[in-house]
Amino acid sequence: MAIDFRLIWEKLPFLLGGAWTTFSLTCVSMVFATVAGLIVGLLNMFGGRVLGTITRVYIEAVRGTPALLLILIVYYALPRFGLNFPQFPAAAVSLAVCYAAYIAEVFRSAVESIPMGQTEAAYSLGMSRLQSLRYIILPQTFRRVLPPLANEFAALIKDTSLVAFISMEDLLFRSKMVSAATYDYFSPLVGAALIYLVMTLPIMQWSRSLEKKVD
């Protein structure tokens, strides 16, 4: 079974159209997931007992179930309760809800990696908890959080392929469409793999170089 590069080349515009869906879905989901993840993470750490428990349940529930399940629920089950999402928003919402939980954990471990002495020094100056967060802890957190966030971004690019299950024409889905039309079940997938790599590798590389800078 040979790789038919001519076929890949011929169908490249079609595949790139799918890659655009993949990329824009990743970006939209990531923005919402990051904002929500920051809020959830802060509530989990500093929101007190009730909010802390609620956010913990949410984080563990999401981490303990497949992302695909959430996508299927949002797209197929929620309409029965009168909540109708078109494909793209349904996918974006599900992925954002998932990744917000992961990202909340990223923020939490970044905050926890900052020595207690920093908080104590802030308190010893008479700062409130909120002030010590705002001026001392969070600014230090944001540096440490960039590399793991970039890794989450790369992971999200790959996880968007799950939307093929709700027939969204992302990169993976379109490569399968090409396969179905040409009876070549290999080359289009290789094409898709190469395009995924073009998107993920630079991000992972960037993340690694950031990590070095932080140390």
Partner 1 sequence: MADEKTCSTGRILDVVDLHKSFGTLEVIKGVSFGLDHKERLVLMGPSGSGKSTLVRCLNWIEPPTSGRIVFDGQEVQAGACDIRKLREDIGMVFQQFNVFPHLTALQNVALGPIVVKKLPRADAEAEARELLAKVGLAHRADHKPGQMSGGEQQRVAIARALAMHPKLMLFDEPTSSIDVELIREVLDVMVKLADEGMTMIVVTHEMGFAKEVADRVIFMDRGLIIETGTPAEVFEHPQQERTQNFLSKVHLA
140 binds partner 1 (CB under 8 A): yes
**CB closer to partner 1, 63 vs 134:** 134
Q: Does 123 bind partner 1 (CB under 8 A)?
A: yes
Measured CA to CA, the distance from residue 127 to residue 107 in angstroms comes to: 22
Q: What ranges in 47-170 are assigned the alpha helix state H?
A: 48-63, 67-72, 87-112, 116-124, 129-132, 138-159
200 binds partner 1 per the rule CB under 8 A: no
Burial class of residue 47 (count of CB atoms within 10 Å of its CB; 0-12, 13-18, 19+): middle
Q: Note whether 127 binds partner 1 by CB under 8 A.
A: yes
214 is a site residue for partner 1 (CB under 8 A):
no
Of the two residues 61 and 125, which places its CB atom closer to partner 1 in the complex?
Answer: 125
What's the distance, CA 50 to chain centroid? 27
CA distance 210 to 202: 12
Q: Rule CB under 8 A: is residue 117 a binding residue for partner 1? A: yes
d(CA 57, CA 135) in angstroms, rounded, equals: 29
Cβ at position 48, least distance to partner 1 in Å: 16
Closer CB to partner 1, 79 or 115, in the complex: 115
Rounded to whole angstroms, the Cα distance separating 173 from 192 reads 9
Confirm or reject binding of residue 121 to partner 1 (CB under 8 A).
yes
Q: Contact positions toward partner 1, by CB under 8 A? A: 115, 117-118, 120-121, 123-128, 131, 135-136, 139-140, 143
